[in-house]
Amino acid sequence: MSQTIQAIARLDGCRTLTVLDLQGTAHTYDDLPEFYADTTLIVNATPVGMYPNAGKSLVDLTKFAKLKGVADVIYNPARTALLLQAEALGIPYAGGLTMLVAQAKQAAEHFFGRAIDDAKIAEIGADMQRDAENIVLIGMPGCGKSTIGNALEALTGRRQIDLDAEIVKKAGKSIPEIFAEGGEEAFRQIETETVQEQSANRGVILVTGGGVVTRAENYAPLRSNGRLYHITRPVAELSREGRPLSLHADLNEMAAKRMPLYRKFADTEIANSSTPAEAAEQIWRDFHAYTRAEWAEFEHARHT
């Protein structure tokens, strides 16, 4: 893979190319500081960051003063730790799915002896991304995530995973029992472990608990292979039933603390102001438009 990337980089006019590895090259990862000042593009051609060992990265992008782009050959998850950091820093990035589809197109041309229009790369890539990426629902307790999740499941045929239900299975006890025995901290720890485990699924609907945003470490696994939708609803309309933290809490105070976190996590907001079915349809339309837009950028780059 590295050899291929090097060849293409040179064909595209790359003036200076440096390969770092554990051994067998002129430079190892210990030499990274030498390249902090002038590197403009980083390409990860290693399996570091791939499932089941997601969340790892070989470099810290904040060290590179002139970095203009990041690419990763990994396509599972869609966004590795490396790409998530690039996203957070506003650096243009690309994952490995484009390469996978383009490679498959060329293989098909070779084996079947007929040309395939390059436009098929974007068409197939958009379909693959849409099928593989998760829809993640976040929002205040009682905002209607579960009912919207049910409507989405009926609309799309996707499997819905309720993270609170998975927490109960994992702990072998109810959520009120977890709180009674270990407090909120014990619950949050199990929740984080469950988020990491269930985010490895692909093409599902993940319905989270209201407090999932209170731990920053939950963002990366949810976003690594998902689009996050913040379900909003007026505080006065939030249900308290079966929710230990909501039962006696000041929901206005809770909302004031959590709203900035929901907005930080979310890719978009969906108001639960009509029926769950209508909210589900709005999410599904957005999800299709989002994947088409992602691959429209590829098509634009291909033509320019």
pLDDT tens-digit map of 111-156: 999 999 988 898 999 999 999 999 999 999 999 999 999 999 999 9
- Are 264 and 143 found together in one domain? yes
Q: CA-CA distance, 296 to 123, in Å (whole number)?
A: 9
Q: Is the pLDDT of residue 68 over 60?
A: yes
Q: Is residue 298 part of a domain?
A: no
Per-residue pLDDT at 35: 94
Mean pLDDT of 86-95: 95
Q: Is residue 114 part of a domain?
A: no
Calculate the alpha carbon distances from 180 to 141, 185, 211, 212, 242 in Å: 19, 11, 17, 19, 14
Supply 172's token pair: 């072998």
Q: Is residue 74 part of a domain?
A: yes
Q: What percent of the chain has pLDDT over 90?
A: 75
Total domain count for the chain? 2
The dihedral built from the CA positions of residue 86, 87, 91 and 96, taken in this order, carries a sign that is positive
Q: Is the pLDDT of residue 211 over 90?
A: yes
Per-residue pLDDT at 250: 83
Least confident of 16-25, 108-117, 132-141, 187-196: 16-25
- Are 28 and 85 found together in one domain? yes
Per-residue pLDDT at 302: 66
Phi, psi of 241, rounded to the nearest 5 degrees: -60, 130
Which CATH number is 269's domain given? 3.40.50.300
- Are 276 and 151 found together in one domain? yes
- Are 224 and 95 found together in one domain? no
- Are 43 and 182 found together in one domain? no
Lateral strand order in the sheet of 160-162: 160-162, 205-207, 134-138, 226-232, 268-271
At residue 297 the predicted structure's pLDDT band, cuts being 50, 70 and 90, is: confident
Per-residue pLDDT at 25: 76
Q: Is residue 125 part of a domain?
A: no
CA end-to-end distance (rounded Å), the chain = 25
Q: Which domain holds residue 228?
A: 130-291
Q: Is residue 117 part of a domain?
A: no
